Amino acid sequence: MTSTSAISSAPLSKSKPYLHLKYSLDFVFALLLLFLTGPLLLLVALLIRLESKGPALYLQTRVGVDEVPFQIYKFRTMVTNADKIGPLLTVQNDARITRLGKWLRRSSIDELPQLLNILKGEMSFIGPRPEVPPIVADYTERQRGVFRVRPGLSGWAQVNGRDELDIPTKLNLDLEYIAKISLVLDLKILFLTPLAVISKRGVN
C-alpha cells in the first residue's frame, strides 16, 4: 500500500489525461441522469414541501478542489434552521431529521441535487466527499491533499464505512484513492456504492 505520508505530495501528472476524460464523462452522465430522474426529483421536492415548512433544497458551503468554497445542493432532510438548534454534524437518532428525511438519507436520494454541482464543474461522480469549512480548518497539510481533485457524490471512504468512519480515517482513504485514481477504481466504487446504500452501512 502507498504510504499515506507520501500520498498528499504525489504528482497527479500521470492521472491528468484520465481526469480530463473523467470530468467530461461526469458532465454527460449528469445531464442524462437529470433528464431521467427529473420526475422523481420534482416529486421528492413536492413531498418535502408538504411535510414541513421551508424550501425543498438545502444549500450549504463546502470546500472543493483547490480549497475553493462552493454551495452544495441537497434535498432538505431536517427541520428548517436545524444548524441553529443543534450541532453542526448530525448525530445518531437526530430529532431534527424529518420522517421523510430519514428515508431520503438512507436511500441517498437527498444527494441527487448534486448532479447540478457536477454540471457546474464543482463536483464529480467519484471523489472525496466535500466537508464544511470549520472541519477543513483543522486539516493537516497532508490531509489537504484531498483538494487536488474535485469532490464526489461517492468515494472510496463512502464504500468503506461512510459515517461509521472518523474524519482522519476518511481522509486517509480519500488520499489513497487519489494516489491510485483510475478508470478501474472509479468503476469499482460505482459498483460498490449501490451495495453500500442497500446495506445502509454507516448512515446517520
For residue 25, pLDDT beyond 70: yes
Confidence of residue 173 (pLDDT cuts 50, 70, 90): very high
Whether 63 contacts 130, CB under 8 Å? yes
pLDDT tens-digit map of 136-154: 999 999 999 999 999 999 9
Confidence label for 202 from pLDDT (cuts 50, 70 and 90): very low
| Of the candidates 106, 141, 133, 112, the residue with the CA atom closest to the CA atom of residue 35 | 112
Q: Mind listing the pLDDT tens digit for each residue in 32-72?
A: 999 999 999 999 999 999 998 899 999 999 999 999 999 99
pTM of the model: 0.85
Percent over 90 (pLDDT), the chain:
68
The residues, any chain, with a CB within 8 Å of residue 174's CB and separated by 6 or more, are 128, 129, 146, 155, 156, 157
Angle at 112 between CA 20 and CA 101, to 5 degrees: 150
Backbone angles phi and psi of 106, in degrees to 5: -65, -35
Q: Is the pLDDT of residue 126 over 80?
A: yes
Q: How many CB atoms lie within 10 A of CB 93?
A: 8
Q: Could you give the CA distance from residue 7 to residue 23 in angstroms, rounded to a whole number?
A: 22
